[in-house]
Chain A
């Protein structure tokens, strides 16, 4: 900066010329940046308007008559015809969602701090937290309804749906600054609370805010689902009513309102995060994965076995603790022993077993096909975005918007569109897998180091070859991360659809058991569903470890 002014006497004119050149270049760069932002917004706006127009036309021409889709104008009419109905429903649901969101995040952040500060707690109880994550809301909802009053049950359900994601995100965030800053604090004689206060908490803020952001949508989902049983007001009640009376306008109006309820806080917290923590881009989160010393195969298998047994014991203890803490009467609160008797030793066990396992088979088909389809289509779409950058510009805003649609409202909408058969359920499981996979794969593809691209270009590598040899291997960790998280969600989505529509699968067994006051059946189905969800999750994370050990060893060292 100062070099120019220190030059020889004749530099006066040159400096002026330089300054004007710099100013011109800067203003050009700025206006270009502004124009490209404007273009981006314009494209998004145009595409959205176009889609709404297509939606309107398609609905008016055919889809409404087929009972599939209400037009945007019909949705607005439905809301305008009875605004107080919708207003009351939204405020009832929002109040539940907000409380659930608050308590769930509070608990998650507290537990994350405890886990990070006291490692012993983490290894013991993270499995329990994971079980909570894999606990399908479909199975929990009726159990909560018999445990608490209706309002508390809804709030707890909303809190449960935000808990795990915030917990894991906060733990990663708190650890993101581990390494040399923590060494420094230790060298200054700081205690573990000092590192928490000065290093870990501030570095965890971006992750915590992300948790709050994602939690907004999850809490809405939990609150709406809680209203499916015994609620008198709320979005969930309207949804069920609309579905029962085949009132297309109402179902779609509820879908739009629920989406806004999820999307608006999502956007607000995103802005808040960017405003509060502008440094967050500078913190790498890749270093957070730590690994112990490498052990022999026997030792590792032994450890894995011990962990599994330990986890099962912890979960069973938690089950008993739940019954004892909340004073459940033996009529509604069943112990693991009751469930074992019900499924194995009682005279009717064989019949009950065949019902549950048949339903389980159906649920596995639903979620398995949907899950794999969602993964494949998600990765393929991200790859297509890379190969045809135009498509990325056009569709990414749409994908982001659709991602914040809670699956709870997708379910009735898709069932109206695809019918109550196999494909409706599969489509729902596929969609909940598709969006996170797409987003994570896109993000992963962008993390390839620029120098690696330069290298490939120097070999005159074709676009496909670069994709195959460089970009996809780099993206594997992201793809697996989303695959792991999506596994329980796919189970949840398919049981939700079964609950609402198809009349088969474990989701339906749960509805049925509840209707017939077969509480042992209810607990049995819930336990089996949770176990399946956990096994599903563990299988995917095992595959993740095997693949990443080969393709991304740096993630483990």
Chain B
């Protein structure tokens, strides 16, 4: 773990329409070390997905600067050094599990050896499903495929936008443990966007808490539980204390239930 992973410096993002301008991100500065695992925690509409999309070079920003491993997001994306998993597993329904995992290599014109694909299928626990089509899989299994696909090309930065957001709580915890295992085997700098306090606390080295309208950082908490973290951690006193601290931070920025109401601070649809 040496060198910088990604840095955001005075990052500001304004969505402009004819009627009004909406400040989605207000002066965000974050720097994380290479190979670390960071979680962005916040309610809907706080701009956390926008940050992820800016890092993935999928969206422009208004001012400030962004670097990943001292390069621009555009260079990283074009050099195929980026792994991405979204809440929608976005598997192609006509491709088998194996062909879905192979897809990034085909797009990048750097074919991935069959051995590597099969190894990942085994690692994510999908033995015997290599030739199954997405429609034959459960939601959890589809998301495993999406995670395998995100890391198959050995990316330097792994961006995860609520990948388990649509799963039930029990499956979700199991997926978190597997994600930790998979990520530990890589050297990637990871960023997880989530609105689950427990998920952020369980997975991350550092949790950055955000509040909406405008999106800004209200807390930055280091998490130093030893790895690998196990399920028992969830029932420990330290873990509960950490969750309480994060919860307090989340509610510090004005506690109201009108988050998605009124102002047009919404994360772009289809993420």
Identify the A interface with B (CB < 8 A): 177, 179-181, 183-190, 194, 198-199, 202-203, 205, 277, 279, 282-283, 293-296, 299, 557
A180 partner, pick from B18, B57, B77, B88, beta carbons under 8 A: B88
8 A-B pairs with least C-beta separation: A180-B90, A279-B93, A190-B107, A187-B84, A179-B270, A180-B88, A181-B90, A189-B80
With A183-B58, A183-B271, A203-B92: A188-B18 Cβ-Cβ less than 8 Å: no
Asked whether A198 lies within 8 Å of B107 as measured between CB atoms, the reply is: yes
Q: Mark B1-27, 1 if CB is under 8 A from A, else 0.
A: 000000000000000011000000000
CB <8 Å contact, A180 and B270: yes
Contact A293 B92 (CB under 8 A): no
Q: Are B92 and A198 in contact (CB under 8 A)?
A: yes
What residues on A are CB-neighbors of B58 within 8 Å?
183, 186-187
B120 interface residue per 8 A CB criterion: no
For residue A454, give the distance in angstroms from its CB to the closest CB of chain B. 21
Listed A/B pairs (17) with beta-carbon separation below 8 Å: A179-B90, A179-B270, A180-B86, A180-B270, A184-B86, A186-B58, A187-B56, A187-B58, A188-B108, A188-B153, A189-B79, A198-B92, A198-B103, A203-B94, A205-B94, A279-B94, A294-B17
For A184, list chain B residues within 8 Å (CB).
84, 86, 90, 104, 149
Residues on B with C-beta less than 8 A from A181 are 90-92
Whether B94 contacts A296 by the Cβ 8 Å rule is no
A279→B96 CA distance, assembly (Å): 11
B184 at interface, CB cutoff 8 A = no
What string of 1s and 0s marks CB contacts (under 8 Å) between B57-84 and chain A? 1100000000000000000011110101
A183 x B135 contact (CB < 8 A): no
In the complex, how many angstroms separate the beta carbon of B209 from the nearest chain A beta carbon? 26
- Cα distance A202–B93 in the bound complex, in angstroms: 10
B258 within 8 A of A: no
Evaluate contact between A183 and B90: CB separation under 8 angstroms: yes
Interface residues of B in 96-118 (CB under 8 A from A): 103-104, 106-108
Please state if A283 and B93 are interface contacts (CB–CB under 8 Å): yes
Tell whether, in the assembled complex, residue B94 and residue A198 are in contact, meaning their CB atoms are under 8 Å apart: no
Question: Which residues of the other chain, B, contact A198 by a CB distance below 8 angstroms?
Answer: 92, 103, 106-107
Give Cα distance in the complex from A295 to B271, angstroms: 24
Given A184-B84, A279-B93, also A189-B78 (CB < 8 A)? yes
Given known pairs A188-B107, A295-B18, A557-B269, the reply for A202 and B90 (CB within 8 Å) is no
Q: Is B133 positioned at the interface, with any CB of A under 8 Å from its CB?
A: yes
Q: Which residues of B contact A180 (CB under 8 A)?
A: 86, 88, 90, 270-271
Residue in B80, B88, B103 whose Cβ sees the most chain A Cβ within 10 Å? B103
Q: Determine the distance from Cα of A190 to Cα of B134 in the docked complex, in whole angstroms.
A: 22
Minimal beta-carbon separation of B19 from chain A (angstroms): 8
Q: Contact flags (1/0) for B30-67 with A, using CB distance below 8 Å?
A: 00000000000000000000000000111000000000
Contact pattern, B 166-202, Cβ under 8 Å of A = 1, otherwise 0: 0000000000000000000000000000000000000
Other-chain residue from A277, A282, A294 in contact with B135 (beta carbon distance below 8 A): A282
Cβ contact of B18, chosen from A189, A199, A299, cutoff 8 A: A299
Residues in chain B near residue A203, CB distance under 8 A: 92, 94
CB <8 Å contact, A189 and B82: yes
Question: In the complex the two chains form, what is the Cα distance from A282 to B142 in whole Å?
Answer: 14
Per the bound structure, the CA–CA distance linking A456 and B91 in Å amounts to 34
Give chain B residues whose Cβ lies under 8 Å from the Cβ of A194: 107
Give the complex CA separation of A203 and B88 in angstroms.
17
A189-B135 in contact (CB<8A): no
Closest A residue by C-beta to B90: A180
Closest residue of chain B to A293 (Cβ to Cβ) is B17
Type the 1/0 row for B120-158, where 1 means its CB is closer than 8 Å to any CB of A.
Answer: 000000000000011100000000000001000100000
Interface residues as binary, B256-271 with A (CB distance below 8 Å gives 1, 0 otherwise): 0000000000000111
Residue in A closest to B149 when the chains form the complex, CB atoms: A184
In the complex the two chains form, what is the Cα distance from A203 to B134 in whole Å? 14
B104 touches A202 (CB 8 A): no
- Whether A279 lies near B135 (C-beta < 8 A) is yes
How distant is A399 from chain B, measured CB to nearest CB, in Å?
30
Q: How many angstroms between the C-alpha atoms of A112 and B108 in the bound complex?
A: 26
Residue of A177, A180, A187 with most partner-chain B CB within 10 A: A187
**Interface pair B270/A188, CB less than 8 Å apart:** no
Contact A187 B82 (CB under 8 A): yes
User: Which B residues are in CB contact (< 8 Å) with A557?
Assistant: 269
Give CA–CA (A199, B17) in the complex, Å: 31
Bound complex: CA of A181 vs CA of B88, how far in Å?
Answer: 9
